[in-house]
Amino acid sequence: MRTQVAIVGAGPSGLLLGALLHRAGIDAVVIEQRGADYVLGRIRAGILEQTTVDLLERAGVGRRVHAEGLRHDGTELAFGGALHRIDFQALTGRHVTVYGQTEVTRDLMAARAEAGLVTVYDAADVAIADWDGGAPKVTYMLDGRRHQLDCDFIAGCDGFHGVCRASLPAGAITAYEKVYPFGWLGVLADVPPATEELVYANHERGFALCSQRSRTRSRYYIQCPSDDRVERWSDDAFWDELRRRLPEHVADHVVTGPALEKSIAPLRSFVAEPMRFGRLFLAGDAAHIVPPTGAKGLNLAASDVGFLADALGEFYGERSDAGIAHYSQRCLARIWKAERFSWWFTSLMHRFPETGEFGARMQRAELDYLVGSQAASTALAENYVGLSLD
């Protein structure tokens, strides 16, 4: 089999790239080691920047996000027993949209199937080769047979543990990483949100987040030790601990219910440089990870594949290598700004055991400054709603 672009990974970044390339008249095949149900069942982010919504529109899958997504013009910071609102709209003239990554994936899957485009699920033993030459290829096992996909380019959209970055020779990349000494215990439940907007809580017992996926489905998180285990947390224990960390008037509005999903996510900051190796490109989690505090993971992945789709469009449409040559530099300029914001916001809102009471008082001083200064509030709002793609 032959295609112009082989996309490894059928998560939202790979599927979005496939949709953007299809709209540009570029042929692409998506190869995924997991089954479609597994991909669709992953519970991930739910906050979309306007640039991501614009890319979904460009890919032809914007109808449902506009019909069902929830516009949020601000967010709440909770500390000292009170709520302090950051008004995105007043400070920046922009907003974010609450729409779950699962729904983004569902929309992209449906569009790909409707267009009759090739997606190979349950591909085992995926391998890439010759990306540094003129004849890249992806091989995989399916139905007991080895298959080969010849292509012009390979897009590695296969996540942090995927084969594409792992296939690079030693010394080809420089990795920058910070692992945080805690994780997020998250619960998804079919209960109405406690508040209209997200609440980020700094509390002496640890961070908490009141998030949502719709008007009837909520996502809640609490900071937990990095070595904690889900089995230690009953639903009742989770709800009790969540309410302890929220201001009383917010805790009183938390509606409890059985967990549809409960998991612990480790927190890390990670960047791999560069993101292009001959005819192989890394995108999304294959190249970078951010703590979820700043809601940047999915949005960075979307901007990566937006840049890559433009670069490949220039190559096939104008026979120009300029976009390809600058892909890594262009992506990394945006990535490092998002990494900085996510690191800063994580450092501000979580309890770090090693910093003690001095660290807690410094956080409180910075939070007081943040909500009392229009300039500081504007900086947070600008980063949260998403910086320019330029």
Helix and strand counts by DSSP (H, E) for the chain: 14, 20
So what's the pLDDT on residue 45? 75
Q: Which amino acid is at 7?
A: I
Residue 217: how many CB atoms within 10 A of its CB? 16
Catalytic one of 220, 292, 327, 350: 292
So what's the pLDDT on residue 353? 84
Radius of gyration of the chain from Cα atoms?
Answer: 21
**161 given a catalytic annotation:** no
**292 given a catalytic annotation:** yes
User: What is the DSSP track for 157-172?
Assistant: -S-TT-HHHHTSPTTS
Tokens of 70: 């929830």
pLDDT at 42 over 80: no
Q: What is the mean pLDDT of the chain?
A: 95
Task: Report residue 390's pLDDT band, with 50, 70 and 90 as the boundaries.
Answer: low
**38 given a catalytic annotation:** no
Task: Report residue 186's pLDDT band, with 50, 70 and 90 as the boundaries.
Answer: very high
Q: What is the mean pLDDT of residues 211-222?
A: 94
Catalytic one of 140, 180, 200, 220: 200
- Tell me which fold the domain 5-72+98-176+268-345 belongs to: FAD/NAD(P)-binding domain (3.50.50)
So what's the pLDDT on residue 41? 80
CATH of domain 180-266+351-385: 3.30.9.10
Residue 377: how many CB atoms within 10 A of its CB? 22
The closest alpha carbon to 291, from 359, 356, 229, 223, belongs to 223
So what's the pLDDT on residue 134? 84
Domain range summary for the chain, segments of one domain joined by +: 5-72+98-176+268-345, 180-266+351-385
Angle at CA of residue 380, ends 13 and 188, nearest 5°: 50
Task: Report residue 155's pLDDT band, with 50, 70 and 90 as the boundaries.
Answer: very high
So what's the pLDDT on residue 7? 98
Q: Which residues contact 288 (CB under 8 A, 6 or more apart)?
A: 270, 271, 272, 300, 335, 339
DSSP-assigned letter for residue 143? T
β 288-289/261-273 pair status: antiparallel
**262 given a catalytic annotation:** no
Catalytic one of 291, 296, 327, 350: 296
Catalytic one of 72, 203, 288, 350: 72
68-107: pLDDT as tens digits: 999 999 999 999 999 999 999 999 999 999 998 999 999 9
Query: 127 and 138 in contact (C-beta within 8 Å)?
Result: yes
β 153-156/208-212 pair status: unpaired
109-141: pLDDT as tens digits: 999 999 999 999 999 999 999 999 889 999 999
Query: 30 and 113 in contact (C-beta within 8 Å)?
Result: no
5-72+98-176+268-345 and 180-266+351-385 have identical folds = no
**192 given a catalytic annotation:** no
Q: CA 343 to CA 219: how far, in whole Å?
A: 22
